[in-house]
Amino acid sequence: WLFASLMYAQQNVNYDESKVPSYVLPGLLQCENGKVVSTIEQWETQRRPELLELFTSQVYGCKPEGKIDVTYEILTENPGALNGKATGKQVKFTFSNGKKKTEAILLLYIPNKPAGKVPVFVGYNFKGNHSTTSDTTVLYSPVFHLVKEPDHPDWERGNQTSRWSYDKIIDRGYAVATMCYHDIYPDKPELRNHSIVSLFPDYNPDTIVPDEWQAIGAWAWGSSRIVDFLETQERIDSDKIAIMGHSRQGKAALWAGAQDDRFRIVISNDSGCGGAALFRREFGETIDIINKNFPHWFCKNFHQYNNREEILPVDQHQLIALIAPRKVYVASAEEDLWADPKGEFLSAYHAGPVYLLYGLTAIDSDKMPQLHKPIMGDIGYHIRAGKHDVTEYDWECYLDFADKHFKN
Ligand code: GTR
């Protein structure tokens, strides 16, 4: 992130609110044929599918037809994990098309108390399951060697524990399931052949068709496969699954939440451009910047909107609205200007009309709340002090939001 911001520091990155262009957001409730949706049924049968199709073909790409096999193997089970508070499991996922396979490892902690079914947070980690805890029995990601040199500091255990408030999550009665995102699509354009994308029929290592899915599409798909597994787990309440994603994984979490209604709460932490932020504000990271830095994240069609945000047929308030009537929470950090906190807030605000259609609550003012004053309706939002990161404060808000919607 720092690297990307520095790279563009000299160029045309706008951090000046007075230079945000005036823009008109594409309509949320107005169908392509001009008709304005006024009922849930019209939303669900007409406008929602239309928008989902546009995000698929123009932004995140299309999952190919055809299926691959997914199998699970429990590698370890420890009833005394996290100082006896949780049962820890590590589960190997094997993705296969019969000729070729890839592997991933899920790390799952389930609270030992209360007994019975518990809600769960699903979320990818960036630096391996081993980075989320100092527990030496936690296994390394099978593909980590492809993305990190053998002497890279990211091999160190526990280097991201501050992002994973396991004790707090478990103490509040939630399970948590994490996987290294590289296991699904190792995050470099040249590693496409090692991703799950390469297992699907019609995959061609030499070409990418305009609406073909890429890394974000694959990560979103992978989080749904985690849900498939969680549904087999007796202790997990599969009606209470939340997904939490940070930054590039916040983008993938919103896209997963838009497509898979088993995610009952969708949380975007500092997801920025291609996540919660409105493209049309062109504040901080833009379509042109993100496509140049990360050519393997979005579908090829999306590149035609570089520096032409005004002709993109969608904007991100519509992505958030696709999650309705399920609950959505957007979080920003004050110093994370690259991700455009105001743009993140405004898309949560402008998703409101669809929540209102369902008789739910929307954010009632287009003025951003103060720092550390979370909004906890059916759409949640907070902005906290500090940098681009996941902090204990963020987790406390997510747990409060989940308590409100899962426990009351
Ligand atoms: C940055 C990228 C952002 C965000 C971030 C992250 O380099 O420009 O869009 O995804 O990485 O994932 O931390």
Ligand 1 atom with least separation from CA of 274: 9
Q: For ligand 1, pick from 185, 187, 247, 344 the residue to mutate: most ligand atoms within 8 Å of CB.
A: 247
Given 131, 165, 247, 347, the catalytic residue: 247
Distance 15 CA to ligand 1 centre (A): 16
What digits encode the pLDDT tens for the residues 260-309? 999 999 999 999 999 999 999 999 999 999 999 999 999 999 999 999 99
Mean pLDDT of 371-380: 98
Confidence tier at 12 by pLDDT (50, 70, 90): confident
Please say if 365 is a catalytic residue.
no
**Does 3 score more than 60 pLDDT?**
no
Mean pLDDT of 344-373: 98
State the Cα–Cα distance between residues 214 and 302, nearest whole angstrom: 11
Distance 5 CA to ligand 1 centre (A): 9
Could you please report the per-residue DSSP string of 274-314? TTTS-GGG--SS-HHHHHHH-TTTS-GGGGGGTT-GGG-S-
Pairing of the two strands 175-180 and 118-125:
parallel
What digits encode the pLDDT tens for the residues 95-112? 999 999 999 999 999 999
Provide the ipTM. 0.96
What digits encode the pLDDT tens for the residues 244-266? 999 999 999 999 999 999 999 99
**For helices 248-259 and 215-230, what crossing angle results, to 10°?**
60
Q: Are 316 and 283 in contact (CB under 8 A)?
A: no
**Does 315 score more than 70 pLDDT?**
yes
Mean pLDDT of 359-385: 98
> Position 172: which residue type?
R
Instruction: Between 150 and 408, name the one with better pLDDT.
Output: 150
State the Cα–Cα distance between residues 230 and 109, nearest whole angstrom: 12
Mean pLDDT of 58-77: 97
What digits encode the pLDDT tens for the residues 43-53? 999 999 999 99
What digits encode the pLDDT tens for the residues 123-155? 999 999 999 999 999 999 999 999 999 999 999
Distance 102 CA to ligand 1 centre (A): 25
Please tell me the predicted confidence (pLDDT) of residue 8.
53
Query: Which residue has the CA at smallest separation from atom 13 of ligand 1?
Result: 247
Mean pLDDT score of the chain: 97
Distance 314 CA to ligand 1 centre (A): 21
Please say if 247 is a catalytic residue.
yes
Tokens of 387: 């940098």
